[in-house]
Amino acid sequence: MGVLSGLKPEKVFYYFEELCKIPHGSYHTKQISDYLVQFAKERNLECSQDDSNNVVIRKAASAGYEDAPVVILQGHCDMVCEKTADSTHDFEKDGLDLMIEGDYVTANGTTLGGDDGIAVAYALAILDDDTLKHPALEVVITTDEEVGLLGAKALDCSQLKGKYLINMDSEEEGYLWVSCAGGLSAITTIPVRYQEVSGEKYELVISGLNGGHSGAEIDKNRANSNKLIGQALFTLEQDIPFCLTALEGGTKDNAITRLSKAVFITDKEAEEAIFAAAEKLQNDWRTEYTGTDEGITVTVKKIGETTEKALEQVSQEKIIFFLVQMPYGIQKMSGSIEGLVETSINPGILMLNEEECKIVSSVRSSIDSAKDALTAKVCYLSEFLGGDCVTEGDYPAWEYRKESKLRDVMVDSYKELFGDGPEVKAIHAGLECGLFYEKIEGLDAVSFGPTMKDIHTTEEVLSISSTARMWDYLVKVLENIKA
């Protein structure tokens, strides 16, 4: 018996648990892609798999729907891999340790991958049920969405016949998403030089932050530990001379960083001042981030005397200057859509090695010129410090479509089931709809999904009751698409 056995709808949760048994972090999707191909073969469904591990599965229309428009059901099979500091989970080898907590499914010590495993589970449950009424279906499961929508970029869309696309990569019941931001990763590298120093070695750790998705939750005003570590180092150096030996924070540019570390060497006499500064920073930040990150923790550990390589002062100053000056969070709200974040940035990855300091930031905007301007600002700052900045994973915004038959069907179907709603909105997070919209002429797309919370963090949860309601909704939408 599986952990999720007995949950309704049974097939959805059965397939979700099966998917969670298979490691499927970004860049490691071959195994789950092969599972999808095998699923299709066992049911005699037409299927294709490309070199990027994208999978397209086709199912014929049910009786009476032969003349209905072909519908694309779309989601991605990769997940963001984050784990708690004490977790021994290996995302390349281990399945997820699922748990049920009240109305929620979660994973023990790791991200859950409900984003976007639930979309894949919905699709498989649809494909595995011959009693449902629906048009001809093209189920498109892409890969590496979380690292720049790479699978969708590589997919040959000329093979697709559908002009209606239902994307299932949203995380809040009651909303239909009809537009999204574009984005890219800005990769800054600052060359560094080292010298040999002697003194007392300390480790400074900033932890206890809530983190979250750098698109969907950037408006929550949550702290970013990479920004805080820069602020902490700047504060310390005002009174305490030190030399950095190590610096790191975050593993994904699209996740608001929750933990950052710095290791430095200083004089023995500085111990009292270091601990006092850490305590003050913690108290100040807990006050500053009341309501979003009261759990911020600043810890200092004394490692002992050492003689080793540490950054030369100029290299160190460049890095601290960059971290302090680097923009983070909302840069502009939309002037035309109330409550919509228009432009934002998240420095999600910080790494120091023997040759350079690397900072990777997620830049998002629903306005291309604003995205370009913010990227140019980061690059200008990088180059001013003698570094370099390149971009990767640039994806387009998904523009709002004034006339949408699919949207009309989905709004009417929602009202038919639940009496009122849903809210039709734009979202700041990046969705693959923009790429499909660009590749398929005349595409009509809408995104929806069940309620999830704290995606891309180890507190990620998927609502069981919402999953059931949104399953009924998906079934009803497909039943109502007849022309």
Q: Which residues are annotated as catalytic?
A: 78, 145
How far is 98 from 109, CA to CA, in rounded Å?
10
Three-class DSSP category at 427: strand
What are the b/e assignments for 400-434, b being 16+ CB within 10 Å? ebeebebbebbbebbeeeeeeebebbbbbbbbbbb
Beta bridge partners of 48: 56
Q: Identify which of 452, 460, 454, 451 has the alpha carbon closest to the alpha carbon of residue 107.
A: 460
| 175-180/423-427 β-pairing | parallel
Q: Identify which of 37, 34, 49 has the alpha carbon closest to the alpha carbon of residue 155.
A: 49
| 71-76/137-142 β-pairing | parallel
Q: What Rg do the C-alpha atoms of the chain give, in angstroms? A: 24
Contact status, residue 111 vs residue 82, Cβ threshold 8 Å? yes
Q: Identify which of 466, 448, 473, 451 has the alpha carbon closest to the alpha carbon of residue 165.
A: 448
Tally of CA atoms within 13 A in the half-sphere of 169 that contains its CB: 30
For residue 408, say if its preceding peptide bond is cis, omega within 30 degrees of 0: no
